[in-house]
Amino acid sequence: MNGNLNGHATAPEAAEEPKEDVEDFDLVIVGAGISGVNMAYRTQTMLRGKSYVILERRQNMGGTWDLVNVPI
């Protein structure tokens, strides 16, 4: 991507061709914390037949509950 004068990236000149291994999902859940895992559970139980994926950038699930370790 090319940069412009205000520091924001600009779109590439030509769009890339879609990859053949791209999957479509009915629902994309961002984050595997309590809310994300709950949404996956609700999707399985209430929206049967819908496909979903959970996107999490960390290796572990659990979101803030896993990330923050507060001594007790």
Please tell me the predicted confidence (pLDDT) of residue 72: 75
Please tell me the predicted confidence (pLDDT) of residue 51: 96
Is residue 41, in this structure, part of any structural domain at all? Answer: yes
Domain of 56, in residue numbers: 27-63
Q: Is the pTM of this model over 0.75?
A: no
Is residue 55, in this structure, part of any structural domain at all? Answer: yes
Is residue 44, in this structure, part of any structural domain at all? Answer: yes
Of 27, 28, 23, the closest CA to residue 50 belongs to 27
Q: Does residue 36 contact residue 54 with C-beta atoms inside 8 Å?
A: yes
Is residue 46, in this structure, part of any structural domain at all? Answer: yes
Is residue 1, in this structure, part of any structural domain at all? Answer: no
Is residue 4, in this structure, part of any structural domain at all? Answer: no
Mean of pLDDT values over 6-35: 76
Please tell me the predicted confidence (pLDDT) of residue 63: 73
DSSP code string of 9-36: B---SSPPPPPTT----SEEEE--SHHH
Number of domains in the chain: 1
Of 51, 59, 14, 48, the closest CA to residue 1 belongs to 14
Is residue 54, in this structure, part of any structural domain at all? Answer: yes
Please tell me the predicted confidence (pLDDT) of residue 8: 56
* Whole-number Å distance between alpha carbons of 12 and 19: 17
The rounded percent of the chain whose pLDDT value lies above 70 is 74
Provide the pLDDT confidence category of residue 70 given band limits of 50, 70 and 90. Answer: confident
